[in-house]
Amino acid sequence: MTAASAGLSGIREALKQAEAAAAPSTVGIAVAAGDEVSAAIANLFGTFAQDYRTLSAQAALFHDEFVRALTAAGGTYAAAEAANRSPLQALERDLFRAINAPTEDLFGRPLIGNGANGAAGTGQAGGDGGILFGNGGNGGSGAPGGNGGRGGSAGLFGRGGNGGAGGAAATAG
């Protein structure tokens, strides 16, 4: 919503520039000749130009109000998302704890969930995924001259983690 609001502000600027470019040729319509017909036509087009400027000003006001409303709605939407996210994340965390606690106590490994990645530069192994569902974590990269960590094992349904890259050996120069 914020991006849409910013895009609409850009449209407003383009409309202002177009109106400014058109204003000199529509403010005062010159009479083509000195006869009554030319004067009537110039007057008619002058009336159209004035109507255009009036409608353009009203459209600009509407546009500004719309952008303000959209910006306010975006802020409200973001606040509502933040408020709803926290309780759902806590519920998910508590649910996973309840499901995984028995298998972690028995086997040292959760029933469901992905393994953690090994820390970079340490050669640390990736964590194993859940026994039933879960991808293994990727192994950490190795320190200079050291090996990368092994990838974590996958669960019954999942993919094993990638092994970490070995560290480049330091050479004397």
pLDDT tens for each residue of 130-155: 999 999 999 999 888 889 999 999 98
Higher pLDDT, 24 or 104: 104
My answer on whether 93 and 132 are in the same domain is no
Check whether residue 65 and residue 116 sit in a common domain: no
Consecutive H or E run containing 93: helix 36-107
Shared-domain flag, residues 91 and 115:
no
Average pLDDT over the chain, rounded to an integer: 85
- Asked if 99 and 121 sit in the same domain, the reply is no
Q: Cα separation of 148 and 157, whole Å? A: 25
Q: Is residue 118 part of a domain?
A: yes
Q: What is the spatial distance between Cα 159 and Cα 164, in angstroms, rounded to a whole number?
A: 15
Give every CB contact of residue 31 below 8 A, 6+ residues apart in sequence. Answer: 38, 39, 42
Quick one: 93 and 137 in the same domain? Answer: no
Neighbours of 81 (CB within 10 A): 9
Our CA angle for 146, 149, 155, nearest 5°, is: 170
pLDDT value of position 171: 63
Q: Which domain holds residue 41?
A: 2-107
- Tell me how many degrees the CA angle 104-157-102 measures, rounded to the nearest 5: 15
Residue 172 lies in a domain: no
Among 86, 107, 128, the domain boundary falls at 107
More confident residue, 39 or 160: 160
Count of domains in the chain? 2
The listed range with the strongest mean pLDDT (14-18, 53-57, 162-166) is 162-166
User: Could you tell me if 94 and 136 lie in one domain?
Assistant: no
66 with 118, same domain: the answer is no
Paired tokens of 2: 């914020």
Predicted TM-score (pTM) of the model is: 0.45
The reply to whether 91 and 123 lie within a common domain is: no
Alpha-carbon distance values, 80 to 38, 76, 83, 94 (Å): 62, 6, 5, 22
Residue 34: which CATH number? 1.10.287.850
Asked, for residue 38, whether it belongs to a domain, the answer is yes
Instruction: Please give the residue that has the higher pLDDT: either 157 or 8.
Output: 157
Tell me: do 61 and 128 sit in the same domain.
no
Summarize the confidence of residues 46-72 as an average pLDDT: 86
